[in-house]
Structure 1
Amino acid sequence: MIDETPADHEHFIEDYPERPWLLAGLGGLAGLVVHLLLDVDSEEAWRYALASCAFFAFAAASFVLGPRRLVQSILFSLGLGVVMGGLAWLAVDSGDRVAGEEFAFAAGVFFSLLAVPLFQAGFHRRLWATPYEETHFHVWTDAVTAGGALLFVLLSWLLLWLLDALFGLIGIGFIGDMIEATGFVGLFCGATFGAAMGVLRNQLGIIGTLQRVVMLVFALLAVPFAFAIMIFLFALLASGGSALWEATDDATPVLLACALGCFVLANAVVRDNDEARSDNVVMIAAALVLSAAIFPLTVFAAISMGIRIDQHGLSPERLWALVAIVIACAYGLAYWVGLARGRLADWSRYLRRANLHLAVGSCVIALLLALPLVDFGAISARQQVARLQAGEVSVEDFDFSALRWDFGDAGRDVLRRLAQREGQIGDLAATALAKQERYPVSIGRPRKNYELAFDFEDAEVRQWVRDHVAASPWLCNGKCVVIDLGSDADRRRIALVSAGRVETVGFRDDGVPDPPPPASIVPPSDADLSPEDVEVREWTGRQIYVDGKPVGNPFP
């Protein structure tokens, strides 16, 4: 194994004594700015924009800042900070007008993670002539130094808390008061992270050795992981994929995570050149298996997502998942092409070339998707309405609330047009459009792990029940039978019958459910009761029966 570092990035690995102090100062300033901007009860977009700009500019500088090409490093760091600040402003300022803005910002973060090592390797100057060895070196050393710096921050906090406890034994609490001071947390975290990064970046020669140790550990993990992936793929193909298709909710992220694991572990064996690659036959075989497994895993993920879309249609989240699947499939297909072209003699060289090309392509795609160029909410809303008009989903099962809350302004525009129609579609669309809160009881969007079976046809009341159970999913255990109990005064009474429980609820004319009934009144445990204090009175009402047996409490 050859122990060398690429010659052209010496300005990143040479000793720079001022680097720890410089990065500690920049980190402390950036942390203080972020803390002061965000430690307030405010949703102003400019605060998040400036905080993101400071954070990402410092983060980039901690990796690229060096004595040579200093101006380029400063401009790159500031440019990345401005880009991420702009994306943060768009995400916060858009509010619920644009669907999936958090995914757009995540795409910007992904762009940043790829842009830093490409800049370090000089891709902006040499383009496709950039040696793969340099990019590979920077990706791994960046990961190692960032992990080491985060560990140092954690240890620094532990030490600070220990000192606070120590001085507290003698009645001195200035450290605790300092920790509680406004802005100290951000200042301390930024300064300690910057100082650690400065020290570690000055020791990249040693870090390069540590990097090879990390890659060796990963290479060892490649063998059992490859064996497990082979068993999974053979078992899946033998079953015809039935087990996978029955678990479409969780299959896609698990498959993509496994494909990512195959990519990381395979490259840990492949390294940055054939001389550094392991000569162990078992590890090479494992790398071949993992490289070949990426494509089928991503194809299965695509099929799983396709089944989900066929069942429920498009949504912004599913479109973002499709983007991730397409990129993953591109990597898997490129690896297959590299294995076919390189055969057993030269396959690793083609994989390294594919890594560089795909990294650049993914970086550009991530930046384009982070910008407000494509409205996934509008695409999803149009497709959902097309499914409704084509009869692929019934009016009763169509999720009008999703158009109101999940697809941004584009979804609400479509919902307004539906509300202008006559008949059942117009009524349900108008009801969904008039709501001010989607889930008035619970916080967030609960997962739908229940199934509703109605014994009545009233579409409006059905939608009331769906919304109520979505807000309180604990009302149903698995399959839930919904029974119409009729009207009582100004309330529409509904019973929810499921395994082990019965719940009744009354709805007002506007669909708002009654609050849950109070707990049963019981006599106090210390009451001095006598037979004269207890009586039985006549009461008449109705009772729900399942299989001829009464369940739940009687009701009027």
Structure 2
Amino acid sequence: MDGTEGNHIDWPLRPWILAALLGAAGLLVWTFADKGNDVPWRMAATAFVFFGAIAAAFTIERDNWKQPLVFALVVGLVMAGLAWRAVSAGDHYAVPQYGFIAGVISTGLALPLFQSGFHRTRFATPYQAVHYNVWSDALSAGGSMVFVGASWLVLLVLAALFELLKIRFLFDLMDDGWFAWTFSGVAFGAALGILRGQLKILGTLQAVVMTVLSVLAVPLALGLVLFLVAMIVSGPEVLWQATQSATPILLACAAGSWVLANAILRDSDTEMSGNPVLRWASIALAAAILPLTVFAAISLGTRISQHGLSPERIWGLIAIAVACAYGLAWLVALLRGWKGGWGERLRRANLHLAAVICVFAFILALPILDFGRIAAGNQLQRLARGHVSPEDFDYTALRWDFGDAGREALARLAKNKDAKVAELAAAALAQKERAYSGFVGKNKTRADFNLRVQPDDAEIREGVLDYLVTHPYDCEDRCVVLDLGEASGGGRRLALVRGSGYTLMNLKPGTGLEPEELGAIELPTLGPDSVVEVGEGRVIRIDGKVVGPAIGDN
């Protein structure tokens, strides 16, 4: 049995069972996730139900339900653990969501491998079985999503119809979260159950999709060949100048090449098109993957040499390493099978890489490697070796993006012998909120602020500077602090004036400078008999209440 013919046998109850299963799962997902996005156990339960139910729906069969049930439980437990860690981590770990994504990739690869019996036959698993299950899963999932959309459209039409009779029951029901999740689960399960039982329909859809994609392979192959020739002629330096955009574009082209080449390869030489143009296009696409991924690696490496490692860039390196592995494996398969059999070698490379990457992604999802600590160590080395100046060093990134390891690094820098490094690190460590993206001049010492205090007062100046070193965006160019007198709760009431406006603040002994909490502001209402006038100070008043700022001169 190759894993294609034995699966999805006729089972009339399949649509009903999957509709009930995924409908119940949808209700449970809403129950656990509603108003609990920051509660670890709720998100873990949500992930367990969601991923476990999906795994069961795609694998369970009438005469084979025990092993699929175990597989679904394992998938649910793995994803529940990763969800719990991602939510409970908070800012203690760097980008914990990437570990969760790695888990999704691992379980996504494990699904067709399990369906094909890889857990029993290992690398002797027929490629046809894996190839079939990958495409049937994708097509049945896509078709089920289309059915969910169509079901909601029908429900919307019915709701509008009943509203003509002043009956809003369906509209009110559609607004309830529990109904939306349950209805979507039922619709998805019913459609999936129907499609999973239609072997011929799935096979026909697969053939149609791959035929269409095969046609797209020709212009992409031609374009990539021209691109590589043009780059050789003009030199790759232009890619290194576009380090922010070159890497994702090159990886996207490599991924597209892999998908379209597989559409031509099909699952065997007998199924592959005999058209020589398509065959040469698949060879060109397979050969182009490695140079594309190598150039992407060099592009990212250029950016790392400029700015150092960050947790996101380490994940980017991992993605590029996987892409390079595919490119190298395919190039070796082409060279070894040049005299014949290159198609079969490419297919076997797909199977081997899928199994390896499934395990690799699972390992990455586990809390084994702390990429925040690795990246923080690299950033400290760059600062110590003079690769970046103290003024240009990104202390804020260490505070917010590298987890506890970044803050530990900042704490060490706060004790640095270089007074400027120590002050900037301490200021970043004390930040309560991150500066907005693109803010210029975030690294400022107390001496760097263009601050004027009216009337000048040494104690007020020190208190304001204590605040500004942790909130440098409140005084980008220059600012003036006005002493408005004694605050109601003690201390001084101040106005921090910038070019764009001002902020009222309180400076209290022992607590420092804090923005003043504004109560509810009563806005004037313009009525038919309202008195509108320009009052003293050239401000507009409505019924004696000021509206907006003073009127300036032309």
TM-score interval, normalised by the smaller of the two chains: 0.7 to 0.9
Query: Is the contact between residue 480 and residue 497 of structure 2 (CA under 8 Å) also seen in structure 1?
Result: no
Instruction: Work out whether residues 427 and 470 of structure 2, in 8 Å CA contact, stay in contact via their aligned partners in 1.
Output: no
Please report how far the alpha carbon of residue 218 of structure 1 lies from its aligned counterpart in structure 2 after TM superposition. Answer: 0.5
Query: 2:234 maps to what in 1?
Result: 239
Q: Which of 312, 321, 327 in structure 2 is aligned with 1:317?
A: 312
Structure 2 CA distance, aligned partners of 1:514 and 1:313?
A: 39
In the TM superposition, 1:18-37 aligns within 5 A as: 18-37=13-32
Q: What SS is found at the alignment partner of 2:7?
A: helix
Provide the residue aligned with 1:152 in structure 2. Answer: 147
Determine if contact 2:482/2:496 at 8 Å carries over to the other structure: no
Identity %: 47
Unaligned runs of 5+ in 2: 451-464, 484-493, 518-525, 539-551
TM-score, with structure 2 as normaliser: 0.82
1:215-267 deviation line (CA, Å, top 9, x unaligned): 00010110111111122222222221132122111111111111100000000
Deviation of the 1:178 alpha carbon = 2.3
Conservation of the 8 A alpha-carbon contact between 2:2 and 2:128: no
1:435 aligned partner, one-letter code:
Q
Q: Which residue of 2 aligns with 1:84?
A: 79
Pairing of 1:273-288 with structure 2 (within 5 A): 273-288=268-283
The aligned counterpart of 2:377 is 382
Cα distance change on mapping 1:34 and 1:226 into 2, 3 Å: same
Residue type at the aligned position of 1:277:
M
The one of 132, 135, 140 equivalent to 2:130 is 135
For the residue of structure 1 that corresponds to 2:132, the secondary structure is: helix
Quote how far apart the aligned CAs of 1:419 are: 1.2
| Aligned mate of 1:55, from 50, 64, 79 | 50
Answering whether residue 4 of structure 2 is matched by residue 12 of structure 1, we say no
* Residues 1:249 and 2:244 aligned together: yes
> Compared with structure 1, are the counterparts of its residues 467 and 121 closer, same or farther at alpha carbon in structure 2 (3 Å cutoff)?
farther
> In structure 2, which of residues 338, 356, 362 is the aligned counterpart of residue 343 of structure 1?
338
> Which residue of the other structure, out of 104, 111, 130, is the alignment partner of 2:106?
111
| Paired AA for residue 430 in structure 2 | A
C-alpha RMSD over aligned residues? 3.3
Q: 1:436 aligns with which of 432, 436, 448?
A: 432
Q: Distance in 2 between matches of 1:431 and 1:335?
A: 51
1:162 maps to what in 2?
157
- What amino acid is aligned across from residue 218 of structure 2 in structure 1? V
- Verify the 8 A CA contact 1:396 1:459 in the aligned structure 2: no
Give, in angstroms, the shift of residue 339 of structure 1: 0.8
Asked if the contact 1:461–1:511 (Cα under 8 Å) also holds between the matched residues in 2, the reply is no
Distance 1:58 1:467 in 2: 47
- Offset from partner CA, 1:84-120 (integer Å, 9 cap, x none): 1111001101111010111110000101110000000
Q: Secondary structure at the match of 1:345?
A: coil
1:260 to 255, 261, 276: 255
Match of 2:264 among 256, 265, 269: 269
Question: TM-score, normalised on structure 1?
Answer: 0.82
1:227 to 222, 225, 230: 222
Q: Secondary structure at the match of 2:209?
A: helix
Give the SS at the match of 1:68: coil
For residues 325-353 of structure 1, give each alpha carbon's deviation from its aligned partner in whole angstroms, at most 9, with x where no partner exists: 00000000011101100005221111101
Q: Is the 8 A contact 1:269 1:287 kept in 2?
A: yes
Aligned residue pair count: 497
Q: Secondary structure at the match of 2:391?
A: coil
Aligned AA for 1:103?
Y
Q: Do the aligned residues in 2 keep the contact of 1:24 with 1:192 (CA within 8 Å)?
A: yes
Rounded Cα–Cα distance in structure 1 between residues aligned with 2:100 and 2:279: 38
User: What is the CA distance between 1:75 and its match in structure 2?
Assistant: 0.6
Using the TM superposition, give the Cα deviation of residue 461 of structure 1 relative to its aligned residue in structure 2, in angstroms. 4.2
Question: 1:305-332: per-residue Cα shift (whole Å, max 9, x none)?
Answer: 0011011110000000000000000000
AA in 1 matched with 2:420: Q
The answer as to 2:343 corresponding to 1:366 is no
Task: Answer yes or no: is the 8 Å Cα contact 1:505–1:513 preserved in 2.
Answer: no
Deviations 1:110-158 (A, max 9, x none): 0111000000000000001101111001001110000000000010001
The alpha-carbon deviation at position 453 of structure 1 amounts to: 12
